[in-house]
Amino acid sequence: MSEDKSTDEVIEDIKETVEDVVEDVKETVEDIVEDVKETAADAVDAVEEAVDNAKPALMKLKEENPKVFYGAIAGIVIVLGFIFLSGGSKSVKQHAPTAVSIGQSYTLKAPNSVGETTLKILKVPGSMASFDNPEDVVCNAPAGTLVTARGFQDAFGKSQLFVQVEIQQEVADCRQGAKGWTLKNNLK
């Protein structure tokens, strides 16, 4: 029987050892679980902070101080309304048309353009199709070309809208003495 007791004692020792190991494993697992919970909480806090930092400044202002937010919008609307409803200047700048006389010399200008421009001198006054058809163009005179007024043509209900001009000097593809039509506004 002494052998049985020793076997029983060995079994008892093994049981105690297993219980101690199980207890240690439980404590270790509980510590790990606690660490995971803390890490998850820290991660959630970091994500929430990142989301708060990612909000545009106007959204934060709207949430934190809505009176200032809506007051600023109202101020912008009032300023824009004032600008749009105030209207423009009462004085309108208009260039006085040049008084054109037959036989007088003038310089060609392009009042509606910026920089160096050429003006089409046309064979027929007032024909819009002439601008697209090269056969209807006498020549292309650069702004600043000297011309002499030779005649007038009424068009579209306006008196003397077109002026027949004679090129005084050879320039670009215009030869001296070439005659054609241009708008009265193109003379200076």
pLDDT, tens digit, for every residue of 49-62?
877 777 777 788 88
Show the tokens assigned to 44. Answer: 């959630």
Alpha-carbon distance of 175 to 85, in angstroms, equals 54
Residues in contact with 58: Cβ distance below 8 Å, sequence separation at least 6, in sequence order:
69
List, for residues 114-136, the tens digit of each pLDDT value. Answer: 778 888 899 988 777 777 788 88
Instruction: Extract the residue ranges of the chain whose pLDDT is less than 50.
Output: 1-2
* Domain extent listing, the chain: 2-85, 105-186
Residues in contact with 122: Cβ distance below 8 Å, sequence separation at least 6, in sequence order:
130, 131, 136, 137, 138, 180, 181, 182
